[in-house]
Structure 1
Amino acid sequence: MDYVLPDVVSDRLEVVRRRDPGEFAYLIRPGGYVPPHMDLLVDAIVALSMGKNVLLKGPTGAGKTKFAETLSNLFQQPMFSVNCSVDLDAESLLGFKTLSYEEGKQVIDFVPGPVTNAMKEGSFLYIDEVNMAKPETLPLINGVLDYRRTITNPFTNEIVTAKDGFGVIAAINEGYIGTVPLNEALKNRFIVIEVPYIEGEQLKRLITTTTNLTDERLVDLFVRLSGDLITAVYQGKLPEEAASIRALLDACDLSTLITPKRAILRAITDKLEEEREREFVNNIAETLF
């Protein structure tokens, strides 16, 4: 079967194929996600264009939400979001009934949720931290995630079929407290894309375009700090959140008004639970700054 990419996506995909992050950057809004390997973006674009669901898998702060927002922007598609938690239920996904007044009379209205809104409008649905939801909750939308692209709304008995353009992007952080393994039936409904940390020149570009830090020397030092933290995470010396790119960008912003070491303390170090971990980060910051 031949799949025809929308013109707007095809044009962007051609730029991505040239493997030129600098040229591609102007196509996405400021602060958008430019991946460390362009194949990640190519594969996500192709999968969504073919009607596949995409699961972004990677450490916290690696840019999964930015990745999803960038894909939404590239396809020129609005994106409805679901933030998963143990409290997620059918109403959070599909909508809920409420009382309202019409011509002075009390009536029952149905307020659609993010899943039904995205399906009816033919836009993107983003499911964040999908493995935080209770195992019995997400199977409610199995029919939405497979070839049927259909669900029977239990609150209205309406059969909702997704319009053309509907797509699902989900994100997962594995191994965190409160998360549960995805069951095979759910996982098999996704194309999985591993999202690594952004490093080197791309991280430098991200800092200069999304934070207030303009001192090139400090930018270079923060890039080195990030590299050291990522290495420590891979070696098992620090938890993943210590190398969060989101936290690093916060530290860069703070360092424009307070000293870099204090900025690192507030944005990164003080989030860590163990004294050993905090001391490790402090030693790296002391060495660099």
Structure 2
Amino acid sequence: MNQLIEQIQASRLNRTYSEEEHLLIQEGGYVSPTRNLFDDILIAISLKKPVLLKGPSGSGKTRLAQSISALFQQPMQSVNCSVDLDAEALLGFKTIVTKEGQSVIEFIDGPVVTAMKRGHILYIDEINMAKPETLPILHSLLDHRRMLTNPFTGEVIVAHEDFSVISAINEGYIGTSPMNEALKNRFVSFSIPYLEAAQLRKVLEDAVPEAEASVVDTIMNLSGDLSKQAANGLLADEAASVRSLIDALQLAVHMPVNRAVMYAIAELLEDKMERDLVNELTATWVK
């Protein structure tokens, strides 16, 4: 492991977290599709660079962030972006509480403010799903200043030295929009591809150890077909996602493979032609 990563890991492992914070430390398990990808991302995180993970649905972006949390034993605050995301969802909100018999207004920190103050990892999922006007509030947080002024309280918040930011995007999906250049330029960007066949098989076997080898073989064969059709533009990327394949394999332990694939993969697709194609591909491998 890179010496810089080891130094950062050692410093963070020595930190003391509350019982509540320990519940926010994720499990690992990410398998890197290339030799250096995971270590290179860790180096960027160690240098306090905001990291942007780009890749198709199910390629392991969230699992990668969780694995960094596990490696550094560092709690993770998550933001799931949508068109409804607003400043309150990011920073927090004011509420009325009772203290010593008096009603007082108190500010409840949101995930961004909590991560900044406590030195947690901030994971922003599907950042290109958010409305462009929502995210500029994060600009000063993502550059060399590593601070922001809370518009709800006027508080100037300087990020804890361990604070890290990881964002993820699914490029080209319905409902997404190109990232604003001013926002994108604040990140170091990494492409996260799907796993190679041998790596995928190990992930499937580790995730569903009770599955028979013949069933794993069938899912692997189907995965190859799904990936080819997705590459040719005939299927949505999520049809070949690792997440969907694991779901299908887990179901296939308890039911026929064709039904497992139908429920875990085909029925999630909106286009009927795509659903039919998945079922047809499955039928070629299920006798």
Secondary structure of residue in 2 paired with 1:52: coil
Aligned match of 1:19:
none
Percent of counterpart pairs with the same letter? 51
Measure the CA separation in 1 of the matches of 2:237 and 2:79: 23
Aligned match of 1:147:
144
- Please give the residue correspondences for 1:69-218 in structure 2 after superposition, counting only pairs within 5 Å: 69-211=66-208, 213-218=210-215
Secondary structure of residue in 1 paired with 2:84: coil
Measure the CA separation in 2 of the matches of 1:150 and 1:30: 29
Measure the CA separation in 1 of the matches of 2:219 and 2:144: 45
Task: After superposing the two structures, state which structure 1 stretch, 227-236 or 110-119, moved more.
Answer: 227-236
Aligned match of 1:229:
226
| 8 A Cα contact 2:5 2:43, kept in partner | no
| 8 A Cα contact 1:132 1:179, kept in partner | yes
Measure the CA separation in 1 of the matches of 2:279 and 2:47: 47
Task: After superposing the two structures, state which structure 1 stretch, 129-138 or 203-212, moved more.
Answer: 203-212
Letter in 1 for 2:93: F
Measure the CA separation in 2 of the matches of 1:94 and 1:275: 41
| 8 A Cα contact 1:213 1:256, kept in partner | yes
Secondary structure of residue in 1 paired with 2:138: helix
1:243 and 2:240 aligned:
yes
Measure the CA separation in 1 of the matches of 2:3 and 2:156: 28
| 8 A Cα contact 1:212 1:253, kept in partner | no
| 8 A Cα contact 1:9 1:74, kept in partner | no
Give the TM-score taking structure 1 as reference length: 0.89
| Residue 211 of structure 1: how far off its partner (Å) | 2.4
Measure the CA separation in 2 of the matches of 1:213 and 1:30: 21
Could you list the per-position Cα deviations for residues 9-44 of structure 1 after superposition, in whole angstroms to 9, with x for gaps in the alignment? Answer: 569xxxxxxxxxxxxxxxxx8761111113210110
| Residue 213 of structure 1: how far off its partner (Å) | 4.0
Give unpaired runs (5+ residues) of structure 2. Answer: 11-25
Out of 255, 260, 266, the residue aligned to residue 258 of structure 1 is 255
Aligned match of 2:283:
286
Give the TM-score taking structure 2 as reference length: 0.90
| Residue 145 of structure 1: how far off its partner (Å) | 0.4
| 8 A Cα contact 1:60 1:241, kept in partner | yes
- Structure 1 segments (4+ residues) deviating >6 Å: none
Letter in 2 for 1:84: C
Letter in 1 for 2:188: I
| Residue 287 of structure 1: how far off its partner (Å) | 1.0
Letter in 2 for 1:169: I
Measure the CA separation in 1 of the matches of 2:212 and 2:66: 28
| 8 A Cα contact 2:219 2:249, kept in partner | yes
Aligned match of 1:7:
6
Give unpaired runs (5+ residues) of structure 1. Answer: 12-28
Measure the CA separation in 2 of the matches of 1:279 and 1:9: 50
